[in-house]
Structure 1
Amino acid sequence: MERPMKNSGIEWIGSIPENWSLQPVKALVERIWDGPFGSNLKGNDYTSEGIPVVRLENLRYMQFDESKKSFVSPEKYETIRRHTVRQGDLIMATFISDDVKVAQLPLSYDYAINKADCIGIKPSRHVDLRFLQYALSSPSSYIGLLQETHGSTRERVNTTQIKMLKLPIPPLVEQKRISNFLDQKCLKIDAISTSISEEIELFEQYRRSVIHEAVTKGLNPDAPMRDSGVEWIGEIPAAWNIVPAKSHVVIHNGRDPLDEGDVPVYGAGSEPFKCSKEYKLGPTVLLGRKGTIDRPKYITGRFWNVDTAFDAYTDNLLLVKYYFYLSICFDYKRYISQTTLPSMTQTEYLNMRIPLPSVGEQDIIVSFLDKKCAEIDSIIAAKKQQLETLSQYKKSLIYEYVTGKREVPA
């Protein structure tokens, strides 16, 4: 027998069980606070150890990423301690472009500071911590908060908007029952997702090894070899040359476009993020200058690049596509000249020594790699689609149970 339902009066929530109530977040929490802004916490305040700082990069969907650690000194902490999050608190990202990211402080942290783009939430004693996390992470909460950011260039919420967000709330006993059920379901989904992510990483490593083998060893396993004298290259076919890239490569700086248009604009390691009226013509290789320097891109047709990326061209003795495959294999760690923000100069790229087979052999290698990488990329794309399907299933499961569309048996 289906339980009685009532109209919530909110389109993106729909019907809720008759014995549930609709309450604003401010009625469910003891306190909501944001982190220190501006000069209260600057880049030079961070230390290699001390009091942990929760940053935006730590917050993922229903998870806390502990792999990225930041700290401030105990002395600095004393000046901003009112922004402390503790065990039993939730931390929510202010940016909601894709979903609402809410995490619990991991058990390895007794307490921490939440940064300005992370909001601390202390639930009241009458609300189950995990249920509140699920409810805030629900697609219905995402849609509700998105209404508050209408017209903004970036989907960002503040403490006032979060306090006013209305959530469907069951009795405490049912909250705990829903939380326990979703914990079990999400644990299984996360385990499958982790396994698929590991498979993707293995295929990406395999792709890189195939490229490295082809551009440094060639495709003839019987070719006589000799030492290249370059560590990341190793041995090369005896008939190949080792040359400085500047013998065959020209590199240009990027800059911000003057006017908007329909030409895709790239930065270091990025997909197009805006459009320009100005353009350059490919084929070219975009090399990272600052930031994500180890993800070169091969570009054909019209494009524009900002100053975080160089555009590189080759002469008739070095195919652009072959140079692109080479650039994937560069030993970037050796050339990083700034630890806080990885960067490379034109001089460093141009002084690199690279293997140079004949143009005919380059063409054969490029054709082989185009086909092989397309096969690997197809497998990776299919696995990424599996991850997306699992992600959507997890979100729909959370939505159905925290809005009462489906019931956990007592």
Structure 2
Amino acid sequence: MGKYQAYPEYRETRHDLLPPIPVHWMTGQIKNAHDVVLGKMLQSDAKTPADRLLPYLRAANVNWGGVDLSTVKEMWFSPAERKALRLMVGDVVISEGGDVGRSAVWQGELPECYFQNAINRARPKGEHSSRYLYYWMSFIKSAGYIDIICNKSTIPHYTAEKVQGTPFLFPPAGEQAGIAAFLDHETAKIDRLIAKQQRLIELLKEKRQAVISHAVTKGLNPDAPMKDSGVEWLGEVPAHWRLEKLKYTAIFKGGGTPSKDSPEYWGGDIPWVSPKDMKSRYVADSQDKITVEAIAASSTSLIGPGQVLVVVRSGILQRTIPVAVNLVEVTLNQDMKAIDFRDETRSEFFSYFVEGHEDNLLLEWRKQGATVESIEQEYLGNTMVPMPPPSEMMEILQFLNGQLEKYRLLTEKATRAIELLREHRTALISAAVTGKIDVRGWQKPNTEPQEAAEAASA
């Protein structure tokens, strides 16, 4: 915060959460500056002819930065409830449950809207600033105060009484508005930078998949003669590559779950891989481990290293196909399959093939009508897989490993940039709402031409 000035004088407060504050600021509680009201319990039917079916906000609608109206539900409100619980522009809505304390400012996004009892509404008294309160909520949330008073070891509830009693700093009303305007402008700049980095990560992900897809389908020689694969989404492949159905070139192995009632089967040193362990290209360990006795007494079996592990039953198959190559001997649970090519190079190639053609394979492999998303082994076995000669396959793998390492480093750099920007955002809000920096002389710069150019190039 080196570019910002401090206030001329500070005084101590009596609250552990708060640092010394400017001498002209006051301390108190949120209830001294805002009226806090809890919303209405769910009501699925009208109780009187005067009740009306109207939209309301749930905690799921409340996000930092704004209200999410992608899914808005309705319930019945009486005339008295409509008078007491109708949202007005400038109200701060605060999550009572779930991610307690998460807040947003209502901007009149709907002509008429109310809120249920998973939300507290804070309405400014007099000239107090609702946006200053919003940033204050962001500060005390990041400082951990809300989690402490809500006792997150149980189901947390940030009740109206707790909101009312939350410590609050009172700059003069005009100063509150100035702090909020400063933070609106500065956090918007930071958010734009974060959005650029997030877009870069998405572009790197798309480029990564495109490079994989091309390499495992077309090879590295652009002048190689091509032939029709016979598979519409696969298109042409190099003429000298073999095309084989998976069931003729690999062996499928399943898994199982040892009895949970037998403690002697659990806590051993043999990895027991389940979908929750499938988070990277390689598997060398698992959250759960079993014993040799468990293998003898169940349908699971040892899977040697260098095989392709695939999740075949899980809700995650709605959007992705987790695959990995195991680096050590493992066992599997019943939601997994191992595909054994008896050749680690072919296993690596096939894992890339799945990653590069994930969207098409999801459509081909998923079992229709299943209550839980699953892969049909018949469809899996009938998959036509292109296979280059061994030396060319090795070249492709070396190329992909080199390219993907570049993308990994760029993604890591962008992810770190996002972390630093978010840390700076949090620190800036904290400094402004606690008076560590004096922004009374701040004026919004005229950046409209620059921002328009940035938007055009985004």
Work out whether the TM-score is over 0.5: yes
Alignment map for 1:1-400 (pairs within 5 Å): 2-33=7-38, 51=55, 54=58, 56=60, 59-64=62-67, 69-72=70-73, 76-78=74-76, 87-93=89-95, 94-96=97-99, 101-105=102-106, 107-111=108-112, 119-126=119-126, 127-138=128-139, 142-149=143-150, 152=153, 156-159=156-159, 160-247=161-248, 248=250, 250=252, 252=254, 258=260, 266-267=275-276, 275-278=287-290, 283=306, 284-287=308-311, 289-293=313-317, 294=320, 296-298=322-324, 300-301=326-327, 310-316=336-342, 319-328=346-355, 329-330=357-358, 331=360, 334=363, 343-347=373-377, 350-351=380-381, 353-358=383-388, 360=390, 361-400=392-431
Indicate the SS of the match to 1:189.
helix
Letter in 2 for 1:222: D
Distance 1:365 1:84, change over 3 A: farther
| Structure 1 residues 125-176: Cα deviation after superposition (integer angstroms, max 9, x where no partner) | 333111111100115654111223556178x443254443222232221110
| Structure 1 residues 11-44: Cα deviation after superposition (integer angstroms, max 9, x where no partner) | 332222223233333444323436767x979xxx
| Structure 1 residues 358-385: Cα deviation after superposition (integer angstroms, max 9, x where no partner) | 4613333222211111111100110111
Paired residues of 2:94 and 2:121 also in contact (CA < 8 A): yes
- Partner Cα distance (1:406, 1:181) in 2: 11
Q: CA deviation at 1:249?
A: 5.3
Give TM-score, length-normalised by structure 1: 0.78
Letter in 2 for 1:363: M
Q: CA deviation at 1:287?
A: 3.0
Q: CA deviation at 1:210?
A: 0.2
| Structure 1 residues 34-91: Cα deviation after superposition (integer angstroms, max 9, x where no partner) | 6767x979xxxxxxxx9576553x554434456xx2244xxx5227988875643334
Letter in 2 for 1:357: M
Distance 1:269 1:29, change over 3 A: farther
Unaligned 5+ segments in structure 2 are: 1-5, 46-53, 261-265, 292-301, 442-458
- Partner Cα distance (1:253, 1:25) in 2: 56
Range with greater deviation from structure 2 (79-88 or 366-375): 79-88
Please say which structure displays the higher CA radius of gyration. Answer: 2
Q: CA deviation at 1:113?
A: 6.4
Between the two proteins, what is the percent identity of the paired residues? 22
Paired residues of 1:223 and 1:237 also in contact (CA < 8 A): yes
Paired residues of 1:30 and 1:122 also in contact (CA < 8 A): yes
Task: Give the structure 1 partner of residue 49 of structure 2.
Answer: none
Distance 1:240 1:71, change over 3 A: farther
- Partner Cα distance (1:348, 1:165) in 2: 60
- Partner Cα distance (1:132, 1:393) in 2: 20
Paired residues of 1:239 and 1:357 also in contact (CA < 8 A): no
Paired residues of 2:91 and 2:121 also in contact (CA < 8 A): yes
Distance 1:158 1:150, change over 3 A: closer
Paired residues of 2:312 and 2:374 also in contact (CA < 8 A): yes
Paired residues of 1:319 and 1:359 also in contact (CA < 8 A): no
Paired residues of 1:230 and 1:353 also in contact (CA < 8 A): no
Distance 1:310 1:115, change over 3 A: farther
Letter in 1 for 2:13: S
Indicate the SS of the match to 1:292.
helix
- Partner Cα distance (2:247, 2:422) in 1: 46
Q: CA deviation at 1:179?
A: 0.4
Paired residues of 1:88 and 1:129 also in contact (CA < 8 A): yes
- Partner Cα distance (2:331, 2:28) in 1: 49
Indicate the SS of the match to 2:413.
helix
Paired residues of 1:249 and 1:350 also in contact (CA < 8 A): no
- Partner Cα distance (2:164, 2:347) in 1: 54
Paired residues of 1:196 and 1:383 also in contact (CA < 8 A): yes
- Partner Cα distance (1:349, 1:51) in 2: 45
Give TM-score, length-normalised by structure 2: 0.70
Distance 1:52 1:148, change over 3 A: closer
Letter in 2 for 1:385: R
Range with greater deviation from structure 2 (17-26 or 374-383): 17-26
- Partner Cα distance (1:344, 1:59) in 2: 34
Paired residues of 2:244 and 2:387 also in contact (CA < 8 A): no
Distance 1:52 1:374, change over 3 A: farther
Distance 1:88 1:197, change over 3 A: same
Q: CA deviation at 1:260?
A: 6.7
Paired residues of 1:236 and 1:355 also in contact (CA < 8 A): no
- Give the superposed CA RMSD: 4.1
Q: 1:409 aligns with which of 413, 429, 440?
A: 440
- Partner Cα distance (1:95, 1:276) in 2: 29
